Structure 1
């Protein structure tokens, strides 16, 4: 079984601690994405699972085995790197079967596995070509094929799409997801791109500073972020954040922010006088009504939607509209938030209140 269990995992480089006592459970067959900004520890965690980085303390288990001190070759994992790491002097078939050849596997079995993987990945016409004769997407498929032929308990992907152009990235993330649905092999995938995380994962692990901020299904993190970091990191464009204070007006509690009175969701029960961060996603804003008033700074039509940047007291607030809009830079405008789509956080700790 391909479960991965991590307990109290720590990593030090000299006197610097980069992983701070992580606990994580990855179920057999699950597609888990580690996401976070550069330097958050996600690649270090992946390399510790792979055996490419030593564990300072704590436990990593793959299935029933504690693998802390096992070399990568004995962990029953296969890793796909950012740079493909193909042998330029070997054909596609030889690249895909090389690890099996080094194990001393029977030639007929190697050929059978390579042919099967090539069929899955659409590489059959390219088996006798060399990497230099392949496109970036085809090289990435070869790297994936090399992992597939090993039939591991766990696939590990380290930012595999970062060298591809935007169109090919979209295509390849679909192919990787379809591959996982077909093989049902436990997969741990590292990316800094939260769109990749949202579209590919069964479960997302959001990391910051060597710590796990939140673990959950993509829409769970989007709809119920536990703090301002997760709220601002998950979602594109990012959630708008406005500093304010809870006040009571005419028996109704609202948030006062820069002179504007903003509605609270009915579920919120926050005391008057509390300083808060008021979060609202761009798609939960409508033009007009009562809310945040300012001047249009930028209008960005993307085709299917239009992003409007409103400058409010020196802060940029982004609204996202599905309908075509006629706003122009310099226009006076008000964004009204949908009260039931509001997220409320403690201003000091950043922890979710409602």
Structure 2
């Protein structure tokens, strides 16, 4: 196991810069998830750590060693890809042990390592099968087993669950998390799915446009997003963001006034963005007056899409709702769970110390 240290890292393709001077510390034994929309640079960063993309500028350290110019085989990492990348003509056991065979390891030692990894992953009954005889989830376990037998310092996962159906994705993310808890190997995991990020990570790195927007524990990012991008990206359904203005110690939003979040300075006339998560809206006698557009019952919750002052917002109710499309309801935000961002910069307005 080892920490991964990134300093002033840049990646340029011709004249196009796609990674803009990143600084990031990944602690030894951590499970860190890189998340962001398509094209944000998360897979490029992962491939730079793996040695599959060259570093244009900056420093990339795995443990005490600077690895900028080392080939992947000398970085002591193991990577699990989106498409499994299994050899179709080799058995599960042969696929898992192939990298060790190429190293010249003794056959008995390879067998022991493969059998140990297979036991961890529940693959023992399938060691003599070929990939074509396995389900998608089993193939992904084989790919993980191939990484485990190498006993690397760092595991790298590049959207490993994106080819699986929804139910299997939930099962596999639990298995990957349990695997990390057992092995304690430093893990860097890339996904565009923020639910995966929230449920699996010790720390999340939110990226946009080749830059890091925020790094923190899942609930830290959820409860205190650093800017409107993180606020909108983390959480499903995403946070409602409404343009507003501070006046007379309150926030003018969508034709009404609401309390300021606790401790936020009342800067008269300041243009702001008011944020409230869907689950922090409740029916009330006073507040935001909105028209119901769609009601989506999910069983344990009811998601309601509404029109408010020309834009769409979402509310989540734990109880069953009596109203339907076309109804007009009044929603009161929970003041203690509201957020305020500067409209010009998008940055969170911090409470006064």
Deviations 1:24-56 (A, max 9, x none): 001110000000000000000000000000000
Considering only aligned residues, what root-mean-square deviation do their CA atoms show, in Å?
0.7
Structure 2 unaligned segments of length 5 or more: list them. Answer: none
Matched, 1:62 2:62: yes
Deviation at 1:267, TM superposition (A): 1.3
Partner of 1:275: 271
Partner of 1:312: 308
Q: Are 2:155 and 2:188, in contact at CA under 8 Å, matched by a contact in 1?
A: yes
Q: Are 1:270 and 1:353, in contact at CA under 8 Å, matched by a contact in 2?
A: no
C-alpha distance in 1 between matches for 2:287 and 2:348: 22
TM-score by length of 1: 0.98
Deviations 1:65-96 (A, max 9, x none): 10000000000000000000000000000000
Deviation at 1:266, TM superposition (A): 2.6
Deviation at 1:309, TM superposition (A): 1.1
Matched, 1:141 2:137: no
Partner of 2:163: 163
Deviations 1:79-120 (A, max 9, x none): 000000000000000000000000100111000000000000
| Displacement over 4 Å in runs of 4+ | none
Counterpart secondary structure, 1:43? helix
Pairing partner for 1:338 from 326, 334, 337: 334
Deviations 1:217-249 (A, max 9, x none): 00000001010000000000000000010011x
Partner of 1:191: 191
Q: Are 1:310 and 1:333, in contact at CA under 8 Å, matched by a contact in 2?
A: no
Counterpart secondary structure, 2:244? strand
Counterpart secondary structure, 1:206? strand
Q: Are 1:263 and 1:337, in contact at CA under 8 Å, matched by a contact in 2?
A: no
Pairing partner for 1:326 from 322, 339, 343: 322
TM-score by length of 2: 0.98
Partner of 2:87: 87
C-alpha distance in 1 between matches for 2:45 and 2:64: 19
Partner of 1:113: 113
C-alpha distance in 1 between matches for 2:286 and 2:259: 9
Pairing partner for 1:264 from 260, 264, 289: 260
Structure 1 unaligned segments of length 5 or more: list them. Answer: none
Deviation at 1:7, TM superposition (A): 0.4
Q: Are 1:92 and 1:130, in contact at CA under 8 Å, matched by a contact in 2?
A: yes
Count of residue correspondences: 350
Counterpart secondary structure, 1:90? coil
Partner of 1:285: 281
Matched, 1:241 2:241: yes
C-alpha distance in 2 between matches for 1:201 and 1:327: 38
